[in-house]
Amino acid sequence: MPNTLRFLAKVVVLICALHVVSARAQNNSTSVSFLNGVEVRINGGRTLHFGLDTGAAPAFFIAPERASELALPVVGHRVIHTSDKRVNSATDAANVVRFSELQLAGHSFFNMEGVVLPEKNYDGTLGISLFHDVLLTLDYPCDRLSVTEGELPAANGSDVIAYTTDPDASFAPLRISPTISLQLAGHPLSALLDTGARRLPADVIVPTEIAATLPLGTIISETTISGASGRSFPAHTAKLNGKLVLGNVAFDNPVVMVTDWLDFVDLGRIINDLSFTIDQRNKRIRLNSSGTSECQPR
């Protein structure tokens, strides 16, 4: 019997989208390292260390002690729920706070709201909404993040691809974060671009119903994923007998995790082999070739 590993998957999001009072960026772009967190300054305070997660809907999460240290004003409260559909009680409502200015990679973002939640590894986490009005480039092989103004060219289905969101989804990231089209062994599917899942031991995560339609090999490993609400979900990994194709990028025999922890397809560690730019205003993603040609995938 394969050894069973256990991963704690903390995926906490808001039931309601946060209000963005004003968000603009000053263009003095510089690229920075980000795989082990990025340096940010909030309201002119000391340098803080934040993670990054495109699968997180709010502009940011911040640890309670950091929110208190910065005296961030509380502007509301939100009941939270998890990716496994459990809703916490009203007594677990999180404080919503607002910063006046956040500085990152040569840019300043103004007057945006985020959520106060405990953070294990960082002072906070930056979510996808922070970057709504700018171009965000994440080069994983080269470990470089940059923020610029402008827009991407029209989608061509190759190096520039369109993405979708689902405004009616109950799970907040699906309403805001990019869902992109891909193929698994020739099967057309849609997957959430979730950089927060890049440390999972699989290139892509699929629910069991979809996995049943895919040509998967023998089981490599078995594990259990524990959601933030405490529910546990069995999972196993297997190689796909075929390619993962995303735009003009293809990967042979990716490792697939099969689990009902999520009811949608989610990109996992394949993110570590990609360099891409997100244009949220036009719902486009550019697949950049420079990262994989110049740097080693992690």
- Which pLDDT value is given to residue 285? 97
Check: CATH 2.40.70.10 for 160-294?
Answer: yes
| C-beta atoms surrounding 173 within 10 Å | 29
Which residues are bridge partners to 191 per DSSP? 180, 265
Q: Which of 125, 123, 89, 93 is nearest to 10 (CA)?
A: 125
* CA distances (Å), origin 286, targets 12, 75, 157, 227: 28, 36, 10, 32
- Which pLDDT value is given to residue 280? 97
How far does Cα 242 stand from its chain's mean position?
25
Residues 183-239: pLDDT tens digits? 999 999 999 999 989 999 999 999 999 999 999 999 999 999 876 666 889 999 999
Lowest mean pLDDT segment, chosen from 11-15, 59-63, 119-123, 233-237? 11-15
Residues 87-144: pLDDT tens digits? 444 446 889 999 999 999 999 999 999 999 998 899 999 999 999 999 999 999 999 9
CATH of 10-148, one of 3.40.50.720, 2.40.70.10, 3.30.1300.10, 2.10.109.10: 2.40.70.10
10-148 shares its CATH topology with 160-294:
yes
pTM: 0.87
- Which pLDDT value is given to residue 2? 47
Backbone angles phi, psi at 275, to 5 degrees: -125, 125
Mean pLDDT for the stretch of residues 234-249: 97
For the chain, what are the domain ranges?
A: 10-148, 160-294
